[in-house]
Amino acid sequence: MVIRSGSELEEQRKQWSKIYLNEQSRILVCAGTGCVANGSLEIYEALIKELAAKGSYLPVELMMEDGPESGGATVVKSGCHGFCEMGPLVRLEPSGVLYTKVKPADVPEIVAALLNDESPVERLLYRHPATGEVFDRESSIPFYSKQQRNALENCGSIDPVEIREYIAKNGYAALKKALTMKPEEICKEISDSGLRGRGGGGFPTGKKWEFTRIAAGDKKYVVCNGDEGDPGAFMDRSVMEGDPYKLIEGMTIAGYAIGADEGYIYVRAEYPLAVDRLKQAIKTATEYGLLGEDILGTGFNFRIKIKEGAGAFVCGEETALLASIEGRRGMPRPKPPFPAQSGLWGKPTLINNVETLANIPKVILKGAAWFKSVGTPNSPGTKTFALTGQVANTGLIEVPMGTTLREIVFEIGGGVRGGKEFKAVQIGGPSGGCLTKDHLDLPLDFDSLLSAGAMVGSGGLVVMDENTCMVEVARFFMNFTQNESCGKCVPCREGTKRLLEILQRAVDGEGKPEDIEVLEDLALAIKDGSLCGLGKTAPNPVLTMLKYFREEYLAHIIYKRCPAGVCKGLTGYNIDPDICKGCTKCSRVCPVGAISGKVKEPFVIDQDKCVKCGACIGACPFGAIKEGSR
């Protein structure tokens, strides 16, 4: 069908709301990438089969024909629910019961409890890792109850490719409203909201829109940056997978506001599920007249194409991304001119990331004042974070800007895994920086993080415990950025290579005292001299490591010791003299003759000869040999 006007849109919304927003029993199965990898599609099929066997399966199309009072239960594949640690997830509606770590074998029990109106299956409910408290409703689980989901509002609660359900939940109402406004009014509304780019830089979104709107040119483009390459980050992927129509609606509003009739979504090919759902959504939106020609009868035309990237981290930089869309090697170019003046094929181009565009519909619909009522004065709204690492509850979260690190790690995240001590968090990916115990009460907003030497970045949060070596963390991220450097400018190409060599020497036990000064000088030179954002932020992990964990680095290069016992070049095998019985078994299996001693007396290991093969540990019947500092 084709929706030809705003009034037709409202008529369809009323009709479809009766179907999708009624009290009909519905089972939502998380079909985000993580849950799919853990077998959620098998759970989906098993639920349909079990309900059908009981005569209680209700397909959506049948409900569309017979109305909302058809009886039975529908089964829906949703996007990511966010609670990745507990996946695969199954949520029952309208009760809000959330089942965690579900397996296909659990399906008969789930269906029986649902159809017989019994209590939820307790063993599948979430249990707090510290208190043991059991939660039977998703809304009461601290992981969810402490969040405020705007960009992620529909993720996990709708079928991501079902446009009728999106419209039933007020989808495209913002576009309808925007098409009655003047383009300059839209840009002003976005400016007044204070929305800043959620891709890392935090540039005011409204200003970028206005710059592009007033730029001279009869052809303009809107580009969505979905090239999410930070290790541990999956916020944009989840939006593209779980709520593609919201992204499309945001892009369409942007196109109208700046005078563009064409848009591109640049998404890395490593996100096949996101690519597939975006293609389905674009096709369906076009069929319904919400993309393409004469949208809602207003004469506005807008089309969207998908460009799959090859996975180059540098293509997250806007000019490198544009080069890739044009079919050239993804390498940044000097600015100015900025893309707003000369972007894709030399035409004025607006570039925003996925989360930024996903915020647009609500800003237009609810207004700038509503958006500014959340967050902090200079960083209004909410921010999504991918919470990973050594935290009890890993997953995708959305919180008001200004929420403290303590709230995120210990309330939403449930604390450090295994009851260990919190040490640090890497925020903003390889281009970000480390925050320590001293920053637990730091508000996470653009300005506060910048003052701490870190950045919001795309929103990755990797939590580290007491067993993490910060020198190795800096080396890991430097290895990543060095590999991902496009090589165009010397400071980034050669500088990151030298930084990596120094850090590698440190973890190998070959560091030199003078390396500290070289590290600092070189890091600052790379920061100042690099062409693009990758190079300018690449030294951040090194600089924050030296700022907050200098003693740990000194231990590596001066005392040749890794306090965390992680770096192989600084660890060795030691024999506990209180446990060793002098049986000689360890010395007999050592391939390099590094173990010596007398029978029935404690043996010792020559660290200079030891090759750390581990043969002695396997041979010792008393557990006297342990790995630790040399």
CATH number at residue 475: 1.20.1440.230
Q: Is residue 562 part of a domain?
A: no
Whole-number pLDDT of residue 541: 87
191 with 280, same domain: the answer is yes
Q: Are 436 and 470 in contact, with CB atoms under 8 Å apart?
A: no
> What is the spatial distance between Cα 566 and Cα 325, in angstroms, rounded to a whole number?
42
CB atoms within 10 A of CB 345: 11
- The sign one gets for the Cα dihedral 34, 37, 43, 48 is positive
Q: Is residue 152 part of a domain?
A: no
> What is the spatial distance between Cα 215 and Cα 208, in angstroms, rounded to a whole number?
11
Whole-number pLDDT of residue 65: 63
Tokens at residue 414, please? 């449930």
Chosen domain end from 416, 438, 465: 465
Q: Is residue 7 part of a domain?
A: no
Q: What is the pTM of this model?
A: 0.90
Tokens at residue 76, please? 């829906």
- The sign one gets for the Cα dihedral 280, 282, 283, 284 is positive
Number of domains the chain is built from: 5
Grouping H, G, I as helix, E, B as strand and the rest as coil, residue 620 is: coil
Q: Is residue 2 part of a domain?
A: no
Q: Is residue 307 part of a domain?
A: yes
> What is the spatial distance between Cα 57 and Cα 336, in angstroms, rounded to a whole number?
59
Q: Is 546 left (phi over 0), alpha (psi -120 to 50) or beta?
A: alpha
β-sheet with 349-353: strand ranges across: 303-309, 262-268, 221-226, 349-353
Residue where the block lists tokens 């509002």: 153
Residue 599 — very low, low, confident or very high, per pLDDT cuts 50/70/90?
very high
pLDDT digits (tens, 9 = 90+) for 436-490: 999 999 999 999 988 887 888 778 899 999 999 999 999 999 999 999 888 899 9
Q: Is residue 147 part of a domain?
A: no
Tokens at residue 325, please? 């869309």
Residue where the block lists tokens 């990973």: 388
599 with 480, same domain: the answer is no
Burial class (CB in 10 A: 0-12, 13-18, 19+), 247: buried
pLDDT digits (tens, 9 = 90+) for 99-145: 999 999 999 999 999 999 899 999 999 998 888 899 999 999 999 99
Grouping H, G, I as helix, E, B as strand and the rest as coil, residue 416 is: strand
Range of the domain at 620: 570-629
Whole-number pLDDT of residue 66: 60
**Dihedral, 602, 605, 606, 610 alpha carbons, nearest 10:** 160
